[in-house]
Amino acid sequence: MENDLLKDLKEAVLESISPKTEERAYLKEIAELLIKKIDRIACSMNLKDVSAKLVGSAARNTWISGTHDLDIFIMFPGDASRAELEKKGLIIARMIAEESESFEERYAEHPYINMRYRGFDVDIVPCFRVDSASCIRSAVDRTPFHNEFIKENIQGLEKEVLLLKQFMKGTGVYGSELRTQGFSGYLTELLVIKYGSFENVIRSACDWQPGTYIDLNSHGIMKHKEPLIMVDPTDPKRNVAAALSLDKFCMFIDSCREFVLHPSLDIFFPRAVIQIDDMKLFQKLKSRGTAFIAITFKTPDVVEDVLYPQLYKMEQAVVALLEEHEFKVLNKGSWAGQNTVVLLELISANLPALSKHRGPPVWVHQHAESFKNKYMAAEDVFTFYIENGIYVAEVPRKYPDAYLLLKERLTSCSIGKQVSFAVKDGFKVLRGSEICSIQDPSLKLFLMNWPGI
C-alpha cells in the first residue's frame, strides 16, 4: 500500500461515512431528550437509583453516517430484584414508547422495547448496574462496561474504527448476529485499540492464524478454541470474538490481503450485482451440470438470531439424510424472505435402481449363512454374489431420487423447533428451473452469488 494512495482512499471513504456536524448534533439532541424523559419518569415513580444512559456506537462516536441506532439503557441498582427490573423497566420503556412512531416489545434475557422515534431505531433496555463486568446478572449488564472501556481508550481513533467497520461491511464480515457470524462493533473497536490504526489492523490480519490471541490487559484466564480470541478487557473469562466463524475469520484475512495488494474504494463499497432475468439465471445454474433441489416453507415468525442457527442445523440434517442415501452434496445454503429456501446442490439427484449391500466374509460361517438366507429369500434382490471374499446382495435402492427422499423423509430430520413446526405445517421440494421461478429479488441475488457467500 503506497502511503499517498492510502491516505487519499481513507479520506474518500471518511468523506462518505463520517457523520456531518448537523447529523451528530441531531443524534445528540434526540439521545439527551430520551434520557431526560426516562430520568424524569423514574423520578416520578420514586425510583431514585434508576437512571438512563446512552451506550453503543452512538455514545462512543463510532457510528457510520446514516445508521441511526440508539441504545439507551435504564440502569437499575445492582441489588434490585429481577421482578422489579422487568416490571418497572418495562413500565418506563412503554411510557417512552407511547410517543414513538411505532414500537414492539422484544425478549432477550428479559423484555425490552424497540421503537422508531423521530428517524431513529431505538432500543430501550433495562439492566442492572453491577460493580464489575465479571459479576453481571444479565448479559446486557456488560454493555455499560464496554462503553466505558471504549470511551476511555478510543479517543483520537474514532475515524479508524469507522474505516474498519466500513471495510468489514463492504467485505461481508461485519455483524455478530447468528446469521452473519462476523465481527461485532465492539470487536472492531478493540482491534483498532490493539493495533492503533485501520491500516495496522489490515496488515496484521494478513498473517492471522486460527487461534490468534489478543489480550489488551494481559489478564485472560480462559482457554478458547475459536479462530480469534479477543479477551474482553472488562471480563477476562469472555472471548469478544466467540461468535466469529472460521469462514468469516478467513474471509477477513483474505480481504485484508486483497486490499494490501490492490487498495481500492470498491472493497469498501462493492458494486451491486446486476440483476439478470430468470432465464439467464437458470442457464447460469444449469451450466454447472449439477442438480439443484430446494426445500421451501413459510418462514417462521422468529428473530434472525433464532431462525438462522435453526436453518444451519437443518442444512446439516438434510445433508446427512442425503449422504446416508449415497447422494453427494456439493454445496448448501439458506435464504429467508417471506418463505425460506434451503438449497442443496448435488452431483446428481438420481442414483441407480439398486445398491450394493455388502455382507460378512463368506468364511464367517454363521453370519454369512444368515446374511445369505435373508437375501436369497427376498424376492426383489437383483443379484447375489461373492466379491473379494464377501457376500454382496444387490438390493433395490429405497430412494433412487433425491426429490422423493426429501419429500418423504424431511420431517423425520432433526431440525430446530420453530423451523420444524414451519416445515411440518407444509413444505415443497423444488427442482431445477422451479427454483428460479420464486419471485424475490434477494433470492435471485442469493442464487447469482451461488456458491460462496
Binding residues for CTP: 57, 60, 146, 165, 174
In the complex with its own copies, the residue whose CB is nearer, 346 or 406, is 346
DSSP 8-state code for residue 300 = P
Question: What's the closest the beta carbon of residue 350 comes to its own copies, in angstroms?
Answer: 8
Question: What's the closest the beta carbon of residue 195 comes to its own copies, in angstroms?
Answer: 18
In the complex with its own copies, the residue whose CB is nearer, 262 or 417, is 262
What is the grid cell recorded at 95? 411510557
- Binding interface with its own copies (CB under 8 A): 206-210, 227, 246-247, 249-251, 253-254, 257, 287-290, 330, 347-348, 350-354, 356, 361-363, 365, 368-369, 372, 382-389, 394, 397, 400, 450-453
Q: Are 102 and 201 in contact (CB under 8 A)?
A: no
Whole-number Å distance between alpha carbons of 228 and 218: 16
Q: Are 377 and 424 in contact (CB under 8 A)?
A: no
CA-based nearest residue to 337, from 443, 187, 235: 443
In the complex with its own copies, the residue whose CB is nearer, 37 or 372, is 372
Question: What's the closest the beta carbon of residue 383 comes to its own copies, in angstroms?
Answer: 6
Question: What's the closest the beta carbon of residue 196 comes to its own copies, in angstroms?
Answer: 22
Q: Are 73 and 55 in contact (CB under 8 A)?
A: yes
In the complex with its own copies, the residue whose CB is nearer, 44 or 209, is 209
Q: What is the DSSP string of 190-252?
A: HHHHHHSSHHHHHHHHTT--TTEEE-TTS-------SSEEEEETTEEEEETTTT--HHHHHHH
- Known binding residues for ATP are 57, 60, 146, 165, 174
In the complex with its own copies, the residue whose CB is nearer, 7 or 365, is 365
- Helices and strands (DSSP H and E) totals, the chain: 15, 15
Question: What's the closest the beta carbon of residue 314 comes to its own copies, in angstroms?
Answer: 18
Give the H/E segment covering residue 298: strand 291-298
- Known binding residues are 57, 60, 69, 71, 123, 146, 165, 174
What is the grid cell recorded at 9? 482512499
| Backbone torsion region of residue 388, taken as left when φ is above 0, otherwise alpha when ψ lies between -120 and 50, otherwise beta | left
Q: How far is CA 171 from the centre of its chain?
A: 14
What is the grid cell recorded at 120? 431513529
Sign of the torsion angle spanned by Cα atoms 41, 44, 45, 49: positive
Q: Are 25 and 32 in contact (CB under 8 A)?
A: no
In the complex with its own copies, the residue whose CB is nearer, 219 or 286, is 286
In the complex with its own copies, the residue whose CB is nearer, 81 or 370, is 370
Question: What's the closest the beta carbon of residue 176 comes to its own copies, in angstroms?
Answer: 18
Question: What's the closest the beta carbon of residue 220 comes to its own copies, in angstroms?
Answer: 21
Whole-number Å distance between alpha carbons of 46 and 66: 37
